[in-house]
Amino acid sequence: MRSGESAMAAGPGRDPALVLVAHGASHNPTAGTSLRRLAEALRRRCADTTVAVAYVHGEPTLPAVLDSLGTEDAVCVVPMFAAEGHHTREVVRPALDAARRKRPLRRLMQAPALGTSPAYTASLARRLLALVSAAGIDPRGAAMLAIGHGRRGLSSPPDDAARRLAEALHPAFATSLALYLDGEPAAASWATRVAETDVVVAPVFFSDAQHASVDVPAIFGGPARSPGGADGIEGPWICAGRRIWSVALPPASGCVADIVVGLAQGAAAPPTGPSSAFGRRA
């Protein structure tokens, strides 16, 4: 297994190189902590696979990583975003098109965004319920708020991870809603949307940047979180007369690594059947 964020040449018979691309933050060097941990989990999970990370905002950029992987015969990019949208269509896809023009014979593949995977949503729901149970919270009398980014003036797409998580947890909680920092329904309006005393807040982001660690806690009157922490639940504290519990679900577990492998396998599969790429464990 080859490690590090720098690409190395692939020899004959190697699996396609795997690139995880996330939002990142150029002003916050800790923004990619969870992504780098996920990359390490994938390097342990897969044999003979180059695993690299790239960021839309920050270094290394996706074009730079694709250039550094120039000797790889095949590369699969997995977007670490909540849904198919601006970043997957206007950033990832053009970067792949530009790399294809530089070397037309190389196979460059784009997997679906992680947030669109039902398996990913199910893993978040299981982890959240386990943390809630360990904290002694009865979900039948509590509200659960999945917080996503959203886009101003646009409705969130139906495959958005926050929406999927809220729908998955609707049977377990008295109220289960998806709210957004930069879209509707707005996270800032949360107090008018729930009647329950106990409110469980779950930010659904793939980078440890400002949104998950600072912006969401501020809306709910809580302390800032340390980027790149493990799964956990904090609280309660009081805000707007409610008991607030904050759940951290960073995408760095072995389960998520398996889901990423599945997305990459689907993208790399030939038309005649499934591919064995990425399937060999170290």
Per-residue confidence (pLDDT) for residue 84, from 0 to 100: 87
Shared domain for 62 and 84, answered yes or no, is yes
Per-residue confidence (pLDDT) for residue 4, from 0 to 100: 38
Per-residue confidence (pLDDT) for residue 151, from 0 to 100: 73
Q: Give the structural domain span for 168.
A: 117-248
The bridge status of strand 142-148 relative to strand 17-22 is unpaired
Shared domain for 79 and 133, answered yes or no, is no
Residue 164 in any domain: the answer is yes
Q: What does the pLDDT profile of the chain (282 residues) look like in tens digits?
A: 333 333 333 344 568 999 999 887 766 666 677 888 889 989 988 878 999 999 988 889 999 999 999 889 999 999 998 888 888 999 999 999 999 999 988 999 999 999 899 999 999 999 999 999 999 999 999 999 999 988 776 566 667 889 999 999 999 999 999 999 988 899 999 999 999 999 999 998 876 667 888 899 999 999 987 766 678 899 999 999 999 999 988 766 667 888 999 999 999 886 555 544 555 554
The alpha helices in the chain, defined as continuous H runs, are: 33-45, 62-68, 86-87, 93-102, 118-134, 161-169, 210, 216-219, 254-268
Per-residue confidence (pLDDT) for residue 31, from 0 to 100: 66
Shared domain for 172 and 218, answered yes or no, is yes
Shared domain for 77 and 135, answered yes or no, is no
Shared domain for 57 and 168, answered yes or no, is no
Alpha carbon distance 47, 261 (integer Å): 12
Shared domain for 110 and 65, answered yes or no, is yes
Shared domain for 44 and 155, answered yes or no, is no
Shared domain for 215 and 162, answered yes or no, is yes
Average pLDDT score over the chain:
85
CATH number at residue 182: 3.40.50.1400
Residue 185 in any domain: the answer is yes
Q: How many domains does the chain have?
A: 2
Per-residue confidence (pLDDT) for residue 212, from 0 to 100: 80
Shared domain for 60 and 88, answered yes or no, is yes
Shared domain for 107 and 123, answered yes or no, is no
Residue 157 in any domain: the answer is yes
- C-beta separation of 148 from 180 below 8 A: yes
Shared domain for 198 and 258, answered yes or no, is no
Residue 22 in any domain: the answer is yes
Residue 8 in any domain: the answer is no
Residue 77 in any domain: the answer is yes
Q: How many residues does the chain have?
A: 282
Shared domain for 148 and 109, answered yes or no, is no
* Sheet of strand 232-239: strand arrangement: 175-180, 142-148, 198-203, 242-248, 232-239
Q: For 47-104, how does the pLDDT look when each residue is reduced to its tens digit (9 = 90+)?
A: 789 999 999 888 899 999 999 998 899 999 999 988 888 889 999 999 999 999 999 8
Alpha carbon distance 17, 134 (integer Å): 39
